[in-house]
Amino acid sequence: MSDNRRRQTQSGERKGGNAVIALVVAGVIIIVLLVVVIVLLLNGNKANKDAEVNSDSKTAKREVVVNESNVEEVIEQLAEATRVPQGSYTVTQNYEWHFPKGDEASTDAHVENLPENTNDVYFDLFIDGDDETPIYQSPVIPRGAVLEGFKLDKKLDAGTYDCIMVYHLVDEDQNSISTVSMRLQVVVEG
């Protein structure tokens, strides 16, 4: 009988040891889950704050209350908001434009919208560092068209100007759907 009692005592100790291990593992799992929940909640609050900041911007639209009379209109607006611009744009141009004088047409400026591109395009040209006042605003350049021999909208003194050209890809209604910026030099010779 003493052997029987020893076996029961050892078996009881094993069961008690297994229970302690199980409790420790369960505690660790609970702690990990709490940490995950806290992190998710903090990130959710950050996303809400970011949304509030974005809603204060000039380009943000107000939310619309959906009702029976405007449900189709709201669905259309949501579909347009999530639309991905078609294709990409291959830039074909030279990167140094020469103008005999600040108010004369360029002798070599060349911008082409290849027929293979999927969108019409226009561009605004700025002197580097001043993205508020364009020195030239192009007309819309249809696919397959070339723009050459144009004058700047702002007369410049003789010199070399580092410039930023901002292309706007447009949809069928000539709404800008994406932009791309490039550097180029404008040289006014006299």
Degrees to nearest 5, angle at CA 84 with 55 and 72: 70
117-167 pLDDT, tens per residue? 888 899 999 999 998 999 999 999 998 899 999 999 999 999 999 999 999
Distance between CA atoms of residues 156 and 187, nearest Å = 10
**Architecture in CATH for domain 91-188:** Sandwich (2.60)
pTM of the predicted model as reported, rounded to 2 decimal places: 0.54
pLDDT the model gives residue 10: 53
Measured between alpha carbons, how far is 168 from 138 in angstroms, rounded to an integer?
10
pLDDT on residue 4: 54
Tell me the one-letter amino acid at 161.
Y
By DSSP bridging, strand 96-99 and strand 176-188 are parallel
| Contact between 188 and 101 (Cβ < 8 Å) | yes
Measured distance CA(167)–CA(170) in Å, rounded: 10
What pLDDT shows up at residue 29? 83
The neighbouring-strand residues paired with 69 are none
| pLDDT at res. 59 | 45
Residue 22 confidence (pLDDT): 82
pLDDT at position 185: 96
Instruction: Say if CB 120 and CB 170 are below 8 A apart.
Output: yes
* Residue numbers in the chain where pLDDT is lower than 70: 1-16, 34, 36-37, 39, 43-67, 70-71, 74-75, 77-88
Amino acid making up residue 169: L
